[in-house]
Structure formats: C-alpha cells, structure tokens
Amino acid sequence: MKIPVKHDFPLTEIRRYLEPGPIVLVSSRWKDETNVMVMGWHMMLGFSPARFGCYILDGNHSFELIRRSRECVINLPTADMVDTVVGIGNCSGSDRIDKFAKFGLTAQPGRYVDAPLIAECHANFECKLDDDRQIDEYGLFIWEVVKAHVAPSPKRPETLHYRGDAEFMKSGGYISRRSKFKPQNL
Amino acid sequence: MKIPVKHDFPLTEIRRYLEPGPIVLVSSRWKDETNVMVMGWHMMLGFSPARFGCYILDGNHSFELIRRSRECVINLPTADMVDTVVGIGNCSGSDRIDKFAKFGLTAQPGRYVDAPLIAECHANFECKLDDDRQIDEYGLFIWEVVKAHVAPSPKRPETLHYRGDAEFMKSGGYISRRSKFKPQNL
C-alpha cells in the first residue's frame, strides 16, 4: 500500500470526508498497548468546535483503551484497502496482535494525541474526548477533532461504506448543485 | 417522480440503508403543521432496539415540531431526487410553505407516528424519541425506530451523500467479502 502525502486540513471542513458516512479505522493507545478497530457508526456533531460522535460496543477490545486514554485517531481508508479493513475487523486486539505489523500498516505520530495515525489512510483526524456521559448508556463517544491531516490528491478518494452482511458500498460519481444552493446553506 | 411499492422491513436490518451515511429527509408534524427538512448528520446506535441518533440545529423550523411531537419519519431519497432535496434544503418551513405540494411529494400515513411518510422515497423509518437529554447541549436526538417500510427493488438504490459545498457523492458499486467475514461479525 502506498503512503499518501498529507497536509493540514481546516477542521471546519472535515465534514467533507466524514458526513458521507465512510467506514473508518480507529486507532488508539493506552499505556503500552496500541490497537485499531473498524467503525461504521459515527456522525458529525458540529463545525467549530469540530465535533464528532461515534458508537463503540463495549465488547470491543479498543473500548477500554479509548475510554481510558480519552483520545483516538479516526483514519479514513480507501476502497483499495478493503481487505485490510476486513482483516482488522476479523481479529481482536485481545489476542495482543500487532495489527500494524500484521497488516503492513505504518504508524505515524500525531500532533496532539498518543494514538498513532495510520499513514496509508487518505486522512487522519486526531480526537480528544469531549463528553463521556453517553458512553455507559449508549456506547456514544463525543469527540472534539483537534487536528486533521488530509491527502490533497485525489480530491475525491474512493471510500467504503458498510451495508452489513459483508457488503461494502463504494463511493461513486458526484453531483454539484452550487448554482442552486443559497450561500448560507453551503 | 414514481412511487415505489414498499414492504415491512426488519428493524434489526435497517443499518443496510442508514449506516452508509446517506442524506435523508426528515418529516415531522406538530398540531396543524407539517414540515420536511434535509439531514446528513446521523448514525446508527443499536440493532435491537433499533436506535438512531441525529443532529438537528435549533435554527431549523423543524426543530420545535420534532422536539414537541417527539416523533419523526426518516425518509431515504434516491439520487434522481437530488433537485427535490436541494429545493427542500433551500426553503424554510417558517415561510409556511406546504413542501409536499411545492415539490410534488405524496404524504402517506405512518403506522405509529402522525408525521407523514414521503411516498416517493425508497424507504421510510418511523421514529419515536428515546432520549431528549442531549438535545440542548448537542442538538442530538436519540430515536427508537419503530417501523421500517422499504422498497424491495432495486436492492441497492442509488443514494446521495453530502460532502458540503453543494456537492453530493452518489453511491457506487459494491464489494462483497462474505467468505472472509467471521459469522459473528456480519
């Protein structure tokens, strides 16, 4: 897998990558343990501060790493990484597997978090836990995204969107309606 | 626009339509007022009960209708409805426009909610408010989906996914990895 060059990206514009609903890889680190999990249940919750919510089942090995460290990185894989995504989904961190080594992924240091960025992904979003009050009842983590790293090319990466039943939808073509939008609604 | 025939659909499987992150139309009714809004910030929160979270800005005219009625319908438009979606996004319910009439949409009665289903959409999910405690701080409504109506054909409708900046991504092809998934991860 190739490693795209990434640039800083404005936090107010990260919805471009997250709002369409792609599968993401969540990397975490707590003490001497690092893990990666696959996640499809997430949403934007604000532009500024850039807020993001996600659901993590407490049965996931990453759950405690993320809850205790109060940090994570949301990494955006592209469609060519589908077998890596499936492989990560199939193995639990409780087996103490080094998923970076097993799947040939490159860990890069973040600016504000200890959890590693996955270099092969198109984008990486460093997150700090903003609110833990919905975790026990709903498995819902509310994050502030504090740093975004995005590859400027391709402008529209092919992303994976999970439908359940082992089936991924890929992102397709696009439609622009700029002339029809009210400016305040863009 | 044609009106697809829809069947009851298992609530435990609605993630098929919602997890990939499409733009949806939210219909609501409170007393004598009915409205429709466009929404892109949402997520699955559980299979059984079928829970769903969404963000609604309090500046939307629908906000109070939805909060007071504690009900809504999540309607899934297909890509051929893009100009209807843009048109609805451009006009506010505060103008007291009948959006069903203006956009040639057909209101159908729900089974469990007073808010109307949009017949032209591929799927309709009737929702009852499960938790209102995150509304004031985060604009986050947590719903239980109580009834799902889905057109059985096409099996993979072309959906719209918003990127901001007046640009929609359309759903594209699909990848199945059934043979590679652990059964418990499907």
- Per-residue pLDDT of A161-177, as tens digits, reads 999 999 999 999 999 99
Percent of chain B with pLDDT over 90: 91
Give the pairing of strands B33-39 and B167-176: unpaired
Asked, for residue B2, whether it belongs to a domain, the answer is no
Measured between beta carbons, which residues in chain B are less than 8 angstroms from residue A166?
A: 176-178, 180-181, 186
| pLDDT at residue B97 tops 80 | yes
End-to-end C-alpha distance for chain B, whole angstroms? 35
Question: Which residues does A100 contact at the CB level (< 8 Å), separation at least 6?
Answer: A34, A36, A106, A107, A116, A118
Q: What is the pLDDT of residue B110?
A: 98
Q: Which residues of A137-167 are buried (b: 16+ CB within 10 A; e: fewer)?
A: ebbbbbbbbbbbbbbeeeeebebbbbbbebb
What domain range is A98 assigned to?
7-185
Q: Where residue A182 falls among pLDDT bands split at 50, 70, 90?
A: confident
* A16, A17, A19, A103, best to mutate vs chain B, most B CBs in 10 Å: A19
What is the rounded CA–CA span in Å between residue A166 and residue A163? 7
| pLDDT at residue B53 tops 90 | yes
**ipTM score:** 0.96
Q: With beta carbons less than 8 A apart as the criterion, state whether B52 and B45 touch.
A: yes
Nearest CA in chain B to A17: B163
Instruction: Verify whether the Cβ–Cβ distance B166 to A160 is below 8 Å.
Output: no
A71: left (phi over 0), alpha (psi -120 to 50) or beta: beta
Percent of chain B with pLDDT over 70: 100
Nearest to A90 among B45, B79, B182 (CB): B182
Q: What is the pLDDT of residues A52-78, one digit of tens each?
A: 999 999 999 999 999 999 999 999 999
Q: Where residue A185 falls among pLDDT bands split at 50, 70, 90?
A: confident
What is the rounded CA–CA span in Å between residue A118 and residue B184? 26
Q: With beta carbons less than 8 A apart as the criterion, state whether B38 and B85 touch.
A: yes
Asked, for residue A1, whether it belongs to a domain, the answer is no
Q: What is the pLDDT of residue B183?
A: 79
CA distance, residue B138 to nearest chain A CA (Å) = 7
Asked, for residue B24, whether it belongs to a domain, the answer is yes
| pLDDT at residue A130 tops 80 | yes
How many domains does one find in chain A? Answer: 1
Asked, for residue B178, whether it belongs to a domain, the answer is yes
Asked, for residue A2, whether it belongs to a domain, the answer is no
What is the rounded CA–CA span in Å between residue B22 and residue B134? 23
Percent of chain A with pLDDT over 90: 91
| pLDDT at residue B41 tops 90 | yes
Q: Tell the residue number behind the tokens 């589908």, with chain if given.
A: A82
Q: What is the pLDDT of residue A1?
A: 85
CA distance, residue B50 to nearest chain A CA (Å) = 12
B86 and A CB contact within 8 Å: yes
CATH of the domain at B46: 2.30.110.10
Asked, for residue B1, whether it belongs to a domain, the answer is no
CA A13 from chain center: how many Å? 15
**Mean pLDDT on A131-158:** 97
